Amino acid sequence: MSASKLRHPAVAAPRAIALVAAIEAAGALFLRQFLLAEDGRLVVALLALFGAALVTMQRRPALEARIEAAFADQARFATGLGLVLVLLFPFVLEKSTYALHLLVIGQLYAVLALALNFQLGSANIPNFATGASYGIGAYASALLALNWDVSFWLALPAAAIVATIFGFLLGVPSMRTRDSYLALVTIAFGVVIHQLLNNLEFTGGPNGLVGIPAPELFGHSFAAPLVILGHDLPSQANFYYLSAVLVGIAILFARRVHDSRVGLAWNALRADELAARCQGINATWYKVLAFAVDAFLAGFAGTIYAFYVGFISPDNFTFLVSVTIMTMVIAGGMDNTLGVIVGAFLLTLLPEKLRAFSDYRILFFGVTVIAFLMIRPQGLFPQRLRRYGA
């Protein structure tokens, strides 16, 4: 890291605000064009633009540092403007249900990637079972709703707790292994969960669960179009806002944990487990904790998914889902909240937008991981050093 990156170059307040506003607006505009692009050539052109922006940042660290400083100085403004953009975004999508659907899925994957980031990014625990936790959350909430008429709002925390318990169940035996063996244990766990969902009677077997009722809030059904100030938004907008709230919670979670003793302990374990233990860090406990946090957030995402599509089957939660989530974390940037979210959106949208990718989805993810590990192992947005205000 160069010295210029460490010193926050002074940026005058109005210029910083303008810079932040310009970047956030450009990001939103880019996302809108990307979502609405029909023509494959336009998609490729937009991708090229995105790539060019990244290369520019890589080539000119001073520019990157200036942007970073502007966001750091105007953090409140940046957050506020970001919220406004998220709120207004569905209104500029020309009522495209497809675009909104992609956004919902993208946001759910962003939550899953943030969940996995606690493990893979912060603590370097290769967990291939995030997809399984996602499935456990989805099934737990769907079963509660179908069998006992539990409302979505109660099923949400209940499913997260069930997923967390399973996370602990996975975490405890995993502690007897490490590195590639740990990865194998988590893969096995994911396969076992998939097989159980496929073969158990009460989970509906391979047919899954159907007819999960849409959530309601103050008498408004999430299956109905959303009317705001005379504007009609497709019903997907309900879930867009719901999953946006979940992304917000996940970001808050991620940042608070990162800036605490727990985040530091995870980082220490990632760097050198033996040395971490010799600084008084209970390695077993912190690793199990990472499993639990991952499962907790994944359980939330699973619940929203189940109630959003109304129909779930074991094939929604295969090993490949876990691999996809892992690819998002690696490509986006380990231990960097923004990077992980960008990675999740990019890898959700790309296969949808480019047929060529869609047919070879797995190949595409494989190539992405290899390319990133070779060319830019730190991901699109590398991790930042903590600063403690001073």
First and final C-alpha spacing in the chain: 19
Residue 311 is inside which H or E element, if any? strand 311-312
Q: Is 275 in the site for another protein (CB under 8 A)?
A: yes
Residues in 6-45 that interact with another protein by CB under 8 A? 6
Q: Considering only residues 226, 233, 268, 380, which one is a binding residue for another protein as defined by CB under 8 A?
A: 268
User: Which residue's entry shows tokens 């912060």?
Assistant: 122
Segment interacting with another protein (CB under 8 A) among 43-51, 99-107, 161-169, 279-287: 279-287
| Per-residue tokens: 175 | 């502690």
Please report, as residue ranges, which positions from 235 to 254 form the binding site for another protein (by CB under 8 A).
252-253
117 binds another protein (CB under 8 A): no
Q: Which of 74, 60, 75, 81 is nearest to 15 (CA)?
A: 74
Among residues 145, 237, 244, 257, the one that binds another protein under rule CB under 8 A: 257
User: Which is nearer to another protein, 158 or 283 (by Cβ)?
Assistant: 283
Question: Rounded to an integer, what distance in angstroms lies between the CA atom of residue 64 and that of residue 60?
Answer: 7
- Could you say which of 283, 309, 338, 354 contacts another protein (CB under 8 A)? 283
The stretch among 21-29, 80-88, 190-198, 255-263 that binds another protein (CB under 8 A) is 255-263
CB of 36 to another protein, least distance (A): 37
- Min CB(79)–another protein separation in Å: 15
**CA 379, CA 384: separation in Å to the nearest integer?**
12
Interface residue with another protein, options 4, 195, 221, 279 (CB under 8 A): 279
Q: Give the x-and-dash track for 325-364 against another protein (CB under 8 A).
A: ----------------------------------------
Distance in Å, CB of 299 to another protein, minimum: 16
Measured from the CB atom, is 19 or 292 closer to another protein?
Answer: 292
Q: What is the dihedral of CA 106, 112, 114, 116, to 10 degrees?
A: -140
Could you tell me how far CA 159 lies from the centroid of its own chain? 18
For residue 308 the two structure tokens come to: 């959003």
Question: Rounded distance, CA 19 to CA 69, Å?
Answer: 10
Stretch that binds another protein, among 22-30, 209-217, 236-244, 280-288 (CB under 8 A): 280-288
Q: How many residues bind another protein (CB under 8 A)?
A: 37
Which tokens in the block code for residue 279?
């600084």
Q: Residues 67-72: contacts with CB within 8 Å, 24+ apart?
A: 67/19, 67/23, 68/5, 68/8, 69/8, 69/9, 69/10, 69/11, 69/16, 70/11, 70/15, 70/16, 70/17, 70/19, 70/20, 71/20, 72/8
Among 86, 226, 262, 306, binds another protein (CB under 8 A): 262
On whether the CB atoms of residues 266 and 122 are closer than 8 A, the answer is yes
> CB 285 → another protein: shortest distance, Å?
9
Query: Is residue 75 a contact residue for another protein (CB under 8 A)?
Result: no
Nearer to another protein, 58 or 260 (CB): 260
Q: Which helix (H) or strand (E) holds 251?
A: helix 236-258
Q: Toward another protein, which CB reaches closer, 273 or 315?
A: 273
Output DSSP code: residue 260. S
Q: State which residue, 199 or 282, has the beta carbon closest to another protein.
A: 282
Which CB, 90 or 263, lies closer to another protein? 263
48-56, 223-231, 258-266, 340-348 -> range binding another protein (CB under 8 A): 258-266
Provide the token pair at 387: 């600063």
Note whether 229 binds another protein by CB under 8 A: no
Choices 77-85, 213-221, 260-268, 322-330; region in contact with another protein by CB under 8 A: 260-268
Binding of another protein by 385 (CB under 8 A): yes
Question: What are the E-state strand segments in 118-273?
Answer: 209-210, 216-217, 220-221, 226-228, 231-233
Are the beta carbons of 332 and 113 closer than 8 angstroms?
yes
- Dist. CA 107–CA 370, nearest whole Å: 24
Residue 276 CB, nearest distance to another protein (Å)? 7
Site of interaction with another protein (CB under 8 A)? 1, 6, 252-253, 256-257, 259-265, 267-268, 270-272, 274-283, 289, 293, 383, 385-390
